[in-house]
Amino acid sequence: MTTDDYAEITAIVALFAERIDSHDWMGIGELFAHLTYTSPGIDYSVSGVSELAAFYERVTTEMNERWAGDPQDAKTVGHKHVFTNLVVDVADDGQTATCRYYGTVYAFSANKPLQPRWSGRYYDRFQRIDGRWHIVDRRQETDFPPGYRPTQ
- The whole-number pLDDT of residue 33 equals 95
Residues sharing a CB contact under 8 Å with residue 144, sequence separation 6 or more, in sequence order: 116, 118, 119, 120
pLDDT in tens, 116-146: 999 999 999 999 999 999 999 988 898 988 7
Extract the residue ranges of the chain whose pLDDT is less than 70.
147-152
Which domains, ranges and CATH numbers included, belong to the chain?
A: 3-144 (3.10.450.50)
- The whole-number pLDDT of residue 40 equals 76
- The whole-number pLDDT of residue 82 equals 98
pLDDT in tens, 69-78: 999 999 999 9
- The whole-number pLDDT of residue 152 equals 52
Q: What SS3 class is residue 95? A: coil
